[in-house]
Amino acid sequence: MKKIFIIFCLMVFSFSAHKFAESKDQSNYALENIGTEENSGPTEDYRLYQNFPNPFNPATIISYKLNNDGYVSLSVYNLVGQEVATLVNEFQKAGVYSKQFDASNLSAGVYLYKIQVNGYTSVKRMTLIK
């Protein structure tokens, strides 16, 4: 009887581990494309770099490159889509720029940052840990 109970427990454990792995794969698939290199427009003229460090606490640096002058919008969003910070909202000359993002007033989690300039848009994700 003891052997049957042990075999039963192993089967239940194996089944639940398999179901957990399936659900984890499905949620990873849903999140897989968030913050990936999503560009539109003339990509050879502009570049949004991955923030550093990532994950971060409480601040990180976001860098980007402009090969042409233009009106730049750089904003940070939570995963619900609410804008939590505007880092840049001005006309800038061509060049490489860096902005510090201080998230000390935000809760831990995943955030997205998006740049828009001259028809180019790029989104990346970053992780705040506390």
Q: How far apart are CA 113 and CA 78, in angstroms?
A: 9
Q: How far apart are CA 56 and CA 106, in angstroms?
A: 12
Cβ within 8 Å of residue 128, ≥6 positions away: 55, 56, 57, 58, 103, 106, 107, 108, 109, 110, 111
52-91 pLDDT, tens digit per residue, is: 999 999 999 999 999 999 999 999 999 999 999 999 999 9
User: What residue ranges do the domains of the chain occupy?
Assistant: 1-32, 38-128
85-107 pLDDT, tens digit per residue, is: 999 999 999 999 999 999 999 99
- CATH number given to 38-128: 2.60.40.3080
**52 pairs with which residues across the strands?**
61
Q: Between these two residues, 101 and 12, which has the higher pLDDT value?
A: 101
Q: Between these two residues, 124 and 19, which has the higher pLDDT value?
A: 124
Is residue 64 within 8 Å of 47, Cβ to Cβ?
yes
